[in-house]
Amino acid sequence: MTSPIRIAPSILSADFARLGEEVRALEAAGADWIHVDVMDGHFVPNLTIGPAVVKALRPHTTLPLDVHLMISPVDSFLDAFAEAGADHITVHPEAGPHIHRTVQRIKSLGKMAGVSLNPGTPAKMLDYLIDDIDLVLIMSVNPGFGGQSFIESQLRKIEAVRKMIDKTGRDIRLEVDGGIDMKTAVQAIAAGADVLVAGTATFRGGPSAYASNIAGLKSAGQKIAGLQDA
Per-residue tens of pLDDT for the chain, all 230 residues: 457 899 999 999 999 999 999 999 999 999 999 999 999 999 999 999 999 999 999 999 999 999 999 999 999 999 999 999 999 999 999 999 999 999 999 999 999 999 999 999 999 999 999 999 999 999 999 998 888 899 999 999 999 999 999 999 999 999 999 999 999 999 999 999 999 999 999 999 999 999 999 999 998 767 675 555 54
Total number of domains in the chain: 1
Binding residues for substrate: 10, 68, 144-147, 177-179, 199-200
Is 174 inside any structural domain? yes
Q: Identify the domain containing residue 166 by its residue range.
A: 6-229
Q: Is 194 a catalytic residue?
A: no
The pTM score is: 0.95
Q: Among residues 86, 95, 183, 180, which one has the least CA distance to residue 138?
A: 180
Q: Is 87 a catalytic residue?
A: no
Is 36 inside any structural domain? yes
**pLDDT for 5-15, tens place per residue?**
999 999 999 99
Annotated active-site residue in 37, 40, 134, 194: 37
Round to whole Å and give the CA distance between 69 and 136.
Answer: 13
CATH number reported for the structural domain that contains residue 31 in this entry: 3.20.20.70
User: What's residue 2's pLDDT?
Assistant: 57
Annotated active-site residue in 66, 177, 181, 194: 177
65-70 sheet: strands from edge to edge: 6-9, 195-198, 173-177, 135-139, 112-117, 88-91, 65-70, 34-39
Binding residues: 10, 35, 37, 68, 144-147, 177-179, 199-200
Is 1 inside any structural domain? no
**pLDDT for 70-86, tens place per residue?**
999 999 999 999 999 99
Binding residues for a divalent metal cation: 35, 37, 68, 177
Is 98 inside any structural domain? yes
